[in-house]
Amino acid sequence: MNRRTRTLSTAAPLVLALACSALACDGRAKEPGKTEPPPKKGPAVAVLDLSAGVPEVESGGLFSMGGRSRAFSSLLEAIDELKEDKDVVAVLVKFGTNSLGPARAAEIGVELERLAASKKVSCHADALSNASYMAAARGCPSVWMSPAGDTEAIGLASQVVYFRRLLADELHLNIDILQVGKFKGAEEPLTRDGPSPEARQSLTSTLADLRGSWLEDIKKRKNGALVDAVEDGPYGAAKSKEMGLTDEVGYADEALAALKKDSGAVREKIFFGPGADDQPDGLSELLRALAGESSEHGPVALVRLTGSIAMSAGGNGIFGGRGGIIEKEVSRTIAKLEKDDDVKAVVLRIDSPGGSALASDLMWHQLMKLRKKKPLVVSVGEMAASGGYYLSCSGDFIFAEPMSIVGSIGVVGGKIGVGDALEKVGVHSETFAASPRPGAAARAGYESPLLKWDDATRGRVLESMSNIYELFLQRIVEGRSTRGRTMTRDKVAESAEGRIFGGRDAKARGLVDELGGLRDAIAKARELANLPKDAKVVTVSGKPAFLDALEPRAAEERAQKAAARATSPMSILDRIAPEMVPFVTSVAPLAEGENAVVALPFAVVVR
């Protein structure tokens, strides 16, 4: 819905009201059998509808300006709003079939637990995943399940797919992938048929840490009596109730009716999700939005960085038109916040598997400049891995959930060559170097997919990657040595070489400061900036202004990128294996001319 449509629809009730006034509509007899409109006043059940998802950042088109955002930070704002609403006597949380990310699920569980201390809280799900059940077990005194639904309760696991035989033996591709850090393991899916002992150790220890946190939250329900059951599912709705995993079997409307009856509520009010009202009013608000300005100014700015890290958004080839954390956009936003005297503190919400080493370092530099002028607090979402942690270490203070993945401090570089594969089908290539020196052709064409690397080229690339690795360690030392903390290279090295950790282990190693979520990070930012506990938080968007986006060249570029996204293999991958997209896009810079990436070594998805 665009702004013009919204303005007309908002004005429509006023026109109808005036018409009814002139025609004396109120005096008409009510039509037989017509139901009474729902009451607009009186005790209410607040509805938090998570069924459409709770992403870190909600994607939207040019005209997607209206309505309450589905983003995670907006959910926290909605919870704060309903806490202050004296008419709200109960809360219904609708999970639908949505599978939340485990770190966000953990924080949602904490928020619901706090709500349940002052208001009746009931939750309904059509199906519960491991993560959404964790949230419900911790925060919902009453859990409903649809009759045909099920509770996953199958325990945590991660899968790694190995392609060496396909790529090398069947397709005859030349795989030249290097790594710095013995635990990094990023080349293993391409160069091995199974994990190395180091990669196995890194992944299994992280999963053990996450499992411990997951079980601790579930133990909040019925004093931990269900721990044995939650790794032995799945269970249908009736069995879930029988085992005590859930409390009632019924549909969402039945759960709502029961909660109304129990709480004495006479109406429901949607605070989050489809149907929530969050419409701007007034022409001045509309004009500010068209100009790309906000009518609200707050001393705490929230910046959300989600996805893989790249120098540009791309536009061609297999990775064309991808989104994520784009250096140019983020650096511009951070520079504005640094110079804005109205902004007293910044909270950085990060959920990233990493990506371009160059982009990570450029943004780190901009963040460190901001930190010299005002507090910078980092909140880790699902993961701050490799390049994601590169950015995180710029914070004065870092929060992570126990279910967050942190670390992967290492570097990957290389390429996959097609020269031998083409030779198999009768296609030969020849490289001609301008220099007569031995090895000149191999050096000049080292980025070409038609050439294998010789030993000298491989050595030079590895040397460059080693330099980036040392720079990565230095950045962490500099970033983490602040506000009375001292970090040394040796200390960082103990947790480097590509190892990944759950939030609790990361805290024990000094990679993060405290366990907690976005709300805790915001509270810390207020504290560091000496602001009131209720100081306003404004989410900062790096998107272009509405009027700027209508410029013909910008419109043409958007159309080209949209076409690239629609026709690229990445769009197919997103539909059939979306969990692979963050990993694939994080290593995409290797296919676009960059020598090294700081990326998570494999696609880790915890369910």
Supply the DSSP string of 366-424, one letter for each residue: HHHHHHTTS-EEEEEEEEEETHHHHHHTTSSEEEE-TT-EEE---EEEEEEE-HHHHHH
Residue 371 lies in a domain: yes
Mean pLDDT of 33-45: 74
- CA gap 314, 340 in Å, rounded: 30
| pLDDT confidence of residue 441 | 77
Where are any strands of DSSP class E within 103-249? 120-125, 142-145, 150-151, 174-180, 235-236, 248-249
Q: Has residue 587 been placed in a domain? A: yes
What's the rounded mean pLDDT across residues 7-20? Answer: 34
More confident residue, 348 or 546: 348
When pLDDT is averaged across residues 52-66 and rounded to a whole number, the result is 62
Give the range among 36-50, 280-294, 315-329 with minimum mean pLDDT.
280-294
Residue 447 lies in a domain: no
Q: HEC states along 285-339? A: HHHHHHCCCCCCCCCEEEEEEECCEECCCCCCCCCCCCCCEEHHHHHHHHHHHHH
- Rounded Cα distance between 109 and 138, Å, is 5
Residue 58 has pLDDT above 80, yes or no: no
Q: What is the pLDDT of residue 277?
A: 57
**Cβ count within 10 A of residue 293:** 11
Q: Do 238 and 340 fall within a single domain?
A: no
Q: Are residues 460 and 360 in the same domain?
A: yes
345 or 412, which is more confident:
345
pLDDT band at 442 (very low <50, low <70, confident <90, very high): confident
Q: Does some domain include residue 122? A: yes
Three-class SS of 459-485: HHHHHHHHHHHHHHHHHHHHHHCCCCC
Burial class (CB in 10 A: 0-12, 13-18, 19+), 80: middle
Calculate the CA 233 to chain-centre distance.
27
**How much is the pLDDT for 20?**
39
- State how far the Cα of 24 lies from the Cα of 30, in Å rounded to an integer: 13
256 and 374 fall within a common domain: no
The confidence score (pLDDT) of residue 603 equals: 54
pLDDT, the chain, mean? 79
Q: Does one domain contain both 238 and 364? A: no
CATH number for 532: 3.90.226.10
Place of tokens 């032995």: 232
Residues 104-109: what's their mean pLDDT? 95
C-alpha dist (Å) from residue 462 to 189, 203, 515, 583: 19, 25, 36, 22
Taking only the tens place, the pLDDT of each residue in 224-241 is 667 788 888 899 999 999
Q: Which residues contact 270 (CB under 8 A, 6 or more apart)?
A: 46, 47, 49, 276, 277
Query: Residue 291 has which token pair?
Result: 């100009």
pLDDT number for residue 19: 37
Banded model confidence at residue 606, pLDDT cuts 50, 70, 90: low
Mean pLDDT value of segment 518-525: 96
Please report the pLDDT score of residue 330 as a whole number.
Answer: 93
Residues 265 and 323 in one domain: no
- Counting residues of the chain whose pLDDT is more than 70, the rounded percentage is 74
Minimum mean pLDDT range among 40-44, 215-219, 336-340, 593-597: 593-597
Question: Does 484 reside within a domain?
Answer: yes
Answer for the pair 348, 368: CB distance below 8 angstroms, yes or no.
no
Residue 290 pLDDT > 80, yes or no? no
pLDDT at position 63 is 38
138-187 tens-digit pLDDT = 999 999 999 989 998 888 887 777 888 888 888 888 887 777 776 666 67
Nearest Cα neighbor of 387 from 416, 414, 407 is: 407
- If asked whether residues 387 and 525 sit together in one domain, one would say yes
In a domain, 517, yes or no: yes
Sorting pLDDT into bands at 50, 70 and 90, what band is 449?
confident
Confidence of residue 582 (pLDDT cuts 50, 70, 90): low
> Any idea which of 311-325, 409-423, 543-557 has the lowest mean pLDDT?
543-557
Residue type, 416: I
Instruction: For strands 120-125 and 150-151, give the pairing.
Output: unpaired
Asked whether the predicted pLDDT for residue 13 surpasses 60, the reply is: no
Provide the b/e sequence for 383-401 (b: ≥16 CB within 10 Å).
bbbbbbbbbbbbbbbbbbb
Higher pLDDT, 406 or 294: 406
**pLDDT value for 163:** 83
Give how many domains the chain has, as a whole number. 2
pLDDT above 90: residue 463:
no
Check whether residue 229 and residue 338 sit in a common domain: no
The larger pLDDT score, comparing residue 142 to residue 417, is at 142
Residue 137: inside a domain, yes or no? yes
Determine, yes or no, domain membership for 399: yes
Instruction: Specify whether the CB–CB gap between 189 and 163 falls below 8 A.
Output: yes
- Please check whether residues 263 and 372 belong to one and the same domain: no
Domain that holds residue 84: 39-157+218-272
Task: Check whether residue 263 and residue 363 sit in a common domain.
Answer: no
Is 266 found in the same domain as 301? no
Whether the full predicted model's pTM is greater than 0.85, yes or no, is no
CB-CB contact of 187 with 411 (8 Å): no
Q: The tokens of 524 are what?
A: 């810390």
Co-location of 96 and 51 in the same domain: yes
Closest by CA position to 600, among listed 389, 295, 328: 389
List beta partners, residue 36.
none
pLDDT of 6 above 50:
no
- Same domain assignment for residues 55 and 130: yes
Beta-carbon contacts of 377 under 8 Å, excluding residues fewer than 6 positions away, are 345, 346, 347, 348, 395, 396, 397, 398, 399, 521, 522, 524, 525, 528
Name the one residue in this structure whose structure tokens are 């209720």: 534
Confidence check: pLDDT of 302 > 90: yes
Coil vs helix vs strand at 357: helix
Q: What is the pLDDT of residues 384-415, one digit of tens each?
A: 999 999 999 999 999 999 999 999 898 887 77
